[in-house]
Amino acid sequence: MSDEPETPPMDRRRFLTVLGASTATAAAVSGCSTSRVEKLIPYLVQSEDQVPGIPTWYASTCTECDAGCGLHVKTREGRAIKLEGNPDHPVNRGKLCVQGQSALQGLYNPDRIKAPMVRNGSAWQEIKWDDAIARLAAKLGPAQGKVAVISGAGRGSFDDFLGEWTAASGGKMVRHAPHDLEAVRAANKQVFGVDALAAHDFGKARYIVSFGADFLESWGPSVENQRGFADAHGFHDGTMAKFVYVAPRASLTGLNADEFVAVKPGSETAFALALANAAGAAGLSQYTPEMAAQETGVPAETIRRIAKEFAAAKPSLAVAGGIGAQSAGAAELCAAVNLLNQAAGNIGQTVLFGADLQSGDGQAALDALAAGMDQGQFQVVLVHEANPVYTQPRSTGFAARFRKVPFKVSTAMVLDETAALCDLLLPTHHALERWDDARPRAGITGLMQPVMEPVFTTMATGDVLLKASQKAAGPLARFNAPSWEAYLKARWADIARARGSADADGFWRESLARGGVYDEPAAPAAVKVASAAVTYTKPAFEGDGEYTFLPHVTTFGDGRFTNRPWVLELSDPVTKITWTSWVEVSPAAAKRIDVREGEILRLTSPHGSIEVPAYIYAGLRDDVVSVPLGYGHTEYGRFAANRGANALDLLGPPKAGGFLPFVATRVRVERAGNAYSKVPKTEGVPRQLGRHIAEAMPLAAAAKGLSLEEWYKGIGEPLGEEHPPVEVEAIKGWRQMQVGRTEGHGRRLGNYAGDHPMWGMAIDLSRCTGCSACVTACYAENNIPWVGEDDVRKGREMTWMRIERYWEGGEADKPLEARFVPMLCQHCDNAPCEPVCPVYAAYHTVDGLNGQVYNRCVGTRYCGNNCPYKVRYFNWYKYNERAFPAPLNLQLNPDVTVRARGVMEKCTFCIQRIRGAQHTARLEDRELKDGEIVTACAQACPSDAIVFGNMKDGDSRVAKIKRDPRGYHVLEDVNTRPAVTYLAKVLHAGSGQRAEG
Amino acid sequence: MRKLFVSVARAATVAIVAAFVAGTPARAQQAPARTADSIAAPVIAKGDSAKLKGPRQPVFFRHDLHAGAYKIQCQYCHYSVAVSNEPGIPSMQTCMGCHLVIGGSDSANKAEIKKVRQAWADKKPIEWTRVHYLARHVHFPHSQHIKAMGPVACATCHGDIARMPQVYKVNNVNNMGWCINCHLERKVTRDCSACHY
């Protein structure tokens, strides 16, 4: 020691501190300088609703899909910055999915059409609204009887109006919903004589079988389904429902199943009929388990066992349909499932008729309209909130027929494929900018109100049509309401009268504040079997390829969400791929084709050919390949256009009068030379490799109340690494060293003195489905920039909250099991990131947070290197400048710093919400209440898997959950002492690696 | 439970009766009665404002007259300072609340008030030059400071505004040491994440 100088001239830490200081000075020129001139621009008239710095909330309704969830829109200084679910709304109960939350990026999309435009040769020319309306009116007058309308708007006053308006103009209107559950409706009509969709109570079911119905993603109201599913399938009171997924490919829904039964495509009907037969449905005696086994390729014992389990559980629930099961025989499948539910006594229990969920007019109606266009029946076509040129497969020839209409008008917000073929663009208001209502099902009417001034010079289509009708006169003249708002209010006055309210204005205001009118759900309508004649037709596929082609729906729906960076950057829940499309091939098929991940495959069907990079996926039959829908736009803005391949190009046209069969072609699969494109995915190693990240235990053990540690002891395996006593001793003193805590006296040292809360989180993995709504909520709340395809390839994504998906099994005889783990900063008590920061940017706050002070950070990235959870993200480029092209920047949360290049960032447990709630409590001279602070992820989670609160308060919800015997910390053996407790997933016997024991 | 608001007809917020304002002749006002402890604001001749400290504003708004001589409470105009992070700046309507009637006592004042009335008539808000602003990575909750130090706390950071004909920066609010000194003195939090997040 003696040869060491007493004061080292400049050690590394000092050097970096000085370096940091000079960087800060340089930054000061732009950051803190007084030479910058800012303007303060006052309101002319202060709106009573708006107080600067305080959010104003409006109730509204989500229009992103047909579910019709209720919204609470958070606005700050007159602009919407966050969407949350409306807790009073019976469909979503305060929760919201990825797509619903991303509506803000639809509102502020930089590619929105900014004003009305008219086609001028091959270019577009901006015109004034008066001119645009005059042009429309001039065409409408002479086109009497020759007007076609294609509308994607859900049911509601506007849909009614559009229907009446089209009828008055002697035209024809088609409600186009590309991913409609047409087969389900057809089967309901066939079996029960009810041409409507039923609601489903997943929460009540004790046993769920899904035949390709991806109810957590794209089948029905996914937020409602997921809430019910988590209630039923989440471990509670020593029990949980069982879920079996029967389909050729495991979707996200399939990966949440306890048992994934990979049947031959199109053979699900045989399986369902065998179950119905076993459940006692009459006239199905020929559908034995053996017969079904032969058709489906599943052992007869499996079918017999599932049939037995299904019959034993009361009530149970079987669901079918959706894109993944929409083969030519999909109506038969859904009819078989109807018989199954009827035989099992589920009708009126878990299958609730009378709700009459909204749906479109079907493919046949659109085909008829297109035929009319082809024959020159129409002079004018108006397309509203629909993009049939993209959503109809090329083989239908829709675009060519559409082109034949002399005058084509679109109200699209973004120039999509259909709008690009039009002659006049009349961009409509976004749902957050206009008055409107929605009737997603019987008894529920949601209202929409403008929560802000329109971003661009757009106009609500209701107003456009009213004005044009007055100009066109003739039979349209009767639409004489002064504005769309007045028209809507008049209708609501009728509603008020019908409901016996004398004060129409009061009723309107009350409904607006509540978000709409929600009646108590009526008793489910009784239905009788009208026809039990259900047969099974052996599936037939077009083409001579070796593989059946199975397009699947991912986060992009029918392609309407592909222009939103939040959705593009969000990794696909199954494959973890971002920004581009892919083709899934099973490991055996990959061997046969001789392909590895990222190598480009060419898929050829009789109708077309696409080239996409391969992704090897074990949750897929060997005779099937699967491509996500929603990619391959040719228009639709800078984010969507020319991204990935359009899976629809491989599909054939529907049979006359039928729905569009998505699973109907066979494809040839071959390598496209030696082409390779690294797949941009956010995944490192897909296996846990014994790291104890995503834990699971069998139901038997969980029901006994065994802790994870006890259970591991029972099977003779250690839970993590063993520590020598000296290490245990050292770690014991850590917390005292750090915060100077003495038992019973609060903390004593410096800034840590006094009594403080201790923030913590609990995440129940048996409720988490991996849906990723929390991820998007985090992006929206915390101003997280997207980094783009290339930077994701380099591992530079900025997902403060991410869903890790680990595979278990999947080889030879072991069932494939997926484990989803929401991974965020663990706010470790003994955080490895803190001591390595040379500038104290990473430090521990008094209330137990792992703080990150951006303005201290100099970007050494030591903290990121030292973090075992890899939850610290480095801001490599000026993401803050390139990720929010105007007007996307208007969405930014003013309570959160927009980080610049060169700093480390990470989850803060939504510290802005913590501080905000603390400030409010202090202003009101009261203590914080448990549940008052809800992080963005916990707020959004449709499964309610995430709970946040003060761990020190023993009565808080989070403290109670943390005492659950299933609780564990990820990487506990590295002694980080995380503030996030996970509750182990629970497995039914036979369902996964850890299921027995 | 969060309070939910209801959109009103959007036109209503801009439907301002501006016409008669423009036509109102600026009546000569009596010199205002001053209470004993009000601060005498100096007469500043036209053109002299160039010598004053602080950035030149589009309208020579005199805090020393309004807050000093007339003793108008800060919160009359900076209305949200006690309830929000943001103090708020008065809307043009607030200005016109008085200046619909008050036209100014001398020609210099009259000229400035005329600008305000013109802006109101044109529906073009005045673009003030900001004097105090924090770096974007600092969150300063005004309401908490008013709560802790009372409604007269403004001067602690902003200086004696009531004596400033033109507002200038007395303290560099972006100097963190200056914040910390106060927090040390009063023994309140010095946790980084109290302000930086």
What ipTM was assigned to the predicted interfaces of this complex?
0.84
Contacts of A897 in chain B (CB under 8 A): 136-137, 196-197
Poorest-pLDDT segment among A154-163, A527-536, A915-924? A527-536
How close, in Å, is residue B141 to chain A by CA atoms?
8
Contacts of B142 in chain A (CB under 8 A): 53
| For residues A710-738, average pLDDT | 76
| Residues in chain B, pLDDT under 70 | 1, 8-39, 45-49
* Alpha carbons A461 and A159: distance in angstroms, whole number: 11
Torsion, Cα of A142, A145, A146, A148 (10° steps): 120
Contacts of B192 in chain A (CB under 8 A): 843, 845, 851, 853, 856
Task: Select from A900, A857, A853 the least CA-distant residue to A21.
Answer: A857
pLDDT tens-digit map of A385-435: 999 999 999 999 999 999 999 999 999 999 999 999 999 999 999 999 999
pLDDT above 80: residue A457: yes
A187 Cβ neighbours under 8 A, 6+ residues apart: A321, A331, A332, A333, A334, A335, A337, A338
Strands A817-823 and A802-808: antiparallel
A286 Cβ neighbours under 8 A, 6+ residues apart: none
Contacts of A49 in chain B (CB under 8 A): 5
Instruction: Verify whether the Cβ–Cβ distance B147 to A922 is below 8 Å.
Output: yes
A86 Cβ neighbours under 8 A, 6+ residues apart: A59, A69, A70, A71, A72, A92, A94, A515
Give φ, ψ of A351 to 5 degrees.
Answer: -110, 110
Contacts of B191 in chain A (CB under 8 A): 751, 845-846, 851
Q: Is B20 on the interface with A (CB under 8 A)?
A: no
For residue A38, the tally of other CB atoms under 10 A from its CB is: 10
**Mean pLDDT value across chain A:** 89
Place of tokens 């075992």: A868
How close, in Å, is residue A536 to chain B by CA atoms?
53
Q: Is B86 on the interface with A (CB under 8 A)?
A: yes
DSSP A132: H
| Confidence tier at A928 by pLDDT (50, 70, 90) | very high
| For residues A684-706, average pLDDT | 90
| For residues A880-899, average pLDDT | 92
Task: Select from B14, B9, B12 the least CA-distant residue to A512.
Answer: B9
Of the partner residues A39, A42, A449, the one whose CB lies closest to the CB of residue B90? A42
The count of C-alpha atoms lying within 13 angstroms of the C-alpha of B122, restricted to the half-sphere facing its C-beta, is: 9
Cβ–Cβ < 8 Å for A422, A383: yes
Contacts of A44 in chain B (CB under 8 A): 14, 16, 91-93, 120, 123, 125
Task: Select from A281, A300, A295 the least CA-distant residue to A327.
Answer: A295
* Alpha carbons A884 and A882: distance in angstroms, whole number: 6
Cβ–Cβ < 8 Å for A985, A994: no
**C-alpha Rg value of chain B to the nearest Å:** 19
Q: Is B187 on the interface with A (CB under 8 A)?
A: no
Interface of A with B in 877-906 (CB under 8 A): 895-898
| Confidence tier at A142 by pLDDT (50, 70, 90) | confident
**C-alpha Rg value of chain A to the nearest Å:** 29
pLDDT tens-digit map of A255-287: 999 999 999 999 999 999 999 999 988 888 999
Place of tokens 């399986």: A271
User: Domains of chain A, with CATH numbers?
Assistant: 184-347 (3.40.228.10), 547-676 (2.40.40.20), 702-827+908-987 (3.30.70.20)
Rounded to an integer, what is the distance from CA A148 to the centroid of its chain?
33
Of the partner residues A39, A451, A911, the one whose CB lies closest to the CB of residue B128? A39
| Confidence tier at A749 by pLDDT (50, 70, 90) | low
pLDDT tens-digit map of A178-219: 998 999 999 999 999 999 999 999 999 999 999 999 999 999
Note the helical H segments in A119-156.
Answer: 129-140
| Confidence tier at A24 by pLDDT (50, 70, 90) | very low
For residue B82, the tally of other CB atoms under 10 A from its CB is: 18
Chain B residue with CA closest to A506: the answer is B6
Task: Select from A707, A341, A221, A849 the least CA-distant residue to B191.
Answer: A849
Chain A residue with CA closest to B188: the answer is A751
Q: Which helix (H) or strand (E) holds A336?
A: helix A330-343
The pTM for the full model equals: 0.90
| Confidence tier at A734 by pLDDT (50, 70, 90) | low
Q: Supply the pLDDT for residue B125.
A: 92
Q: Where are the strands (E) in B37-158, listed by range?
A: 128-129
Euclidean distance between the first and the last CA atom of chain A, given in angstroms as a whole number? 56
Q: Supply the pLDDT for residue A532.
A: 80
| For residues A105-112, average pLDDT | 95
Q: Is B147 on the interface with A (CB under 8 A)?
A: yes
| Confidence tier at A234 by pLDDT (50, 70, 90) | very high
pLDDT tens-digit map of A467-525: 999 998 888 899 999 999 999 999 999 999 999 888 999 999 999 999 999 998 888 88
Contacts of A46 in chain B (CB under 8 A): 79, 91, 93-94
How close, in Å, is residue B5 to chain A by CA atoms?
5
Q: Supply the pLDDT for residue A740.
A: 53
Q: Do you find a cis peptide bond into A315, omega within 30 degrees of 0?
A: yes
Compute CA distances A523 → A92, A355, A444, A492, A495, whole Å.
Answer: 20, 9, 14, 25, 22
A85: exposed, middle or buried (C-beta count within 10 Å: 0-12, 13-18, 19+)?
buried
Q: Is A783 on the interface with B (CB under 8 A)?
A: no
Q: Supply the pLDDT for residue A995.
A: 61
* Alpha carbons A455 and A448: distance in angstroms, whole number: 17
Interface of B with A in 26-85 (CB under 8 A): 55, 79-80, 83-85
